Amino acid sequence: MLTNIKNLLNNTFLDKGLELAVAIVAVLLAAMVARRFLLRDVKEPEDRRRIRKAISLTTFFLIVASVAIIFSSNLGSLGVSLGVASAGIAFALQAVIANAAAWMANSTGAYYKIGDRIQMGGVTGDVIGTNVMVTTVMEIGGWVKADQYNGRVVRISNSNIFTSPVYNYTADFAVLWDEITIPIKYGGDRKLVVEILERVATEVTAEAIEQAQKEWTQLVDKFDVEDARVEPLVTLIANDNWLEYNLRYVTSYHQRRITKSILFNRLMDEFDKVPEKFSIASSTYDIVSFPPVNVNLTHENNKRS
């Protein structure tokens, strides 16, 4: 009995296991101390989230490194067995591994972060949570018109990062370009129409223009893109029925529908002030009168004698 216990205590793998246990405990204690120390003076939720994520990743890599170092002398004899086992595990857990790899790739906010508005895997919405497996999104659109919440919470597999485009509405440039089209009848004051459209759009989107100018300058320095115009722009197209004035402007991604509504109300008010200068075109047909109709009645009296 004593001999068996002695042999067990002298077992190399048991020694290595004890060393690994001590190393893991030390890493976890260090992570706990680091988390308390680094988060002590951090108040912003997003910054605290990033610090916790960085500590978790560092802890994971330190544990993996400890296993590799401690068992380095025994890995050769286990190579074949571990290789076969790893291949089987990788095949069985390929979806899990892909999600975890995508989460690690996005851990620094490379694709998106909490609070961003994204479109991924066919779903558009605001990111409200992430973990190793899924990204949780508050969906917009669907049966609700324009970019507004519909109340549905969607969980998207992180692996979509690698298999489909990720559209980020807020990364680097947090404003969007939008357009409205105004049809005007022929014969109106074209210069006045353009002046009203540009003036009203500039007043309504003043804050968005200022934000866009700052962020676009930074974007030009970061990427190879042209220095685009962020001020309102009016273009004109003539067709068979009327003149189409296209107003292009910038707006915050979460104010898109509200901005469009304000613009239409302001423009209608301005147009009503000068009804004699021009009028909005419409494809509605009104019957206002009928042409005169002449009816001739002929009476024949056939009398029999």
| pLDDT tens digit sequence for 38-56 | 777 666 676 677 677 777 8
pLDDT of residue 12: 62
The model's pLDDT over 220-253, given as tens digits with 9 standing for 90+, comes to: 888 888 888 899 999 999 988 899 999 999 999 8
For the chain, the average pLDDT equals 81
The pLDDT confidence band at residue 305, using thresholds 50, 70 and 90, is very low
Q: Above 50 in pLDDT, residue 2?
A: no
- Give the orientation angle of helix 45-70 with respect to helix 12-39, to 10 degrees: 160
The pLDDT confidence band at residue 10, using thresholds 50, 70 and 90, is low
Judged by average pLDDT, the poorest of 183-197, 227-241, 275-289 is 275-289
pLDDT of residue 148: 86
The larger pLDDT score, comparing residue 43 to residue 304, is at 43
Return the closest-CA partner of residue 280 out of 186, 196, 210, 143: 186
What are the contacts of 212-220 at 24+ separation with CB within 8 A? Answer: 212/173, 212/175, 212/250, 215/172, 215/173, 215/174, 215/175, 216/173, 218/172, 219/172, 219/173
Torsion of CA 8, 9, 15, 19, to 10 degrees: 130
Quickly count helices (H) and strands (E) in the chain: 9, 8
The pLDDT confidence band at residue 168, using thresholds 50, 70 and 90, is very high
The larger pLDDT score, comparing residue 45 to residue 212, is at 212
pTM over 0.85: no
From the centroid of its chain, how far is CA 93? 28
The average pLDDT across 16-25 equals 81
Rg of the Cα atoms in the chain = 35
The larger pLDDT score, comparing residue 189 to residue 286, is at 189
Judged by average pLDDT, the poorest of 138-142, 222-226, 260-264 is 222-226
The average pLDDT across 93-112 equals 80
Domains of the chain plus CATH, in order, are 2-92 (no CATH), 117-168 (2.30.30), 175-273 (3.30.70.100)
Q: Above 70 in pLDDT, residue 303?
A: no
Q: Above 90 in pLDDT, residue 268?
A: yes
pLDDT of residue 248: 96
92 backbone dihedrals φ, ψ, rounded to 5°: -70, -30
Question: Percentage of residues in the chain with pLDDT exceeding 90?
Answer: 34
The larger pLDDT score, comparing residue 280 to residue 295, is at 280
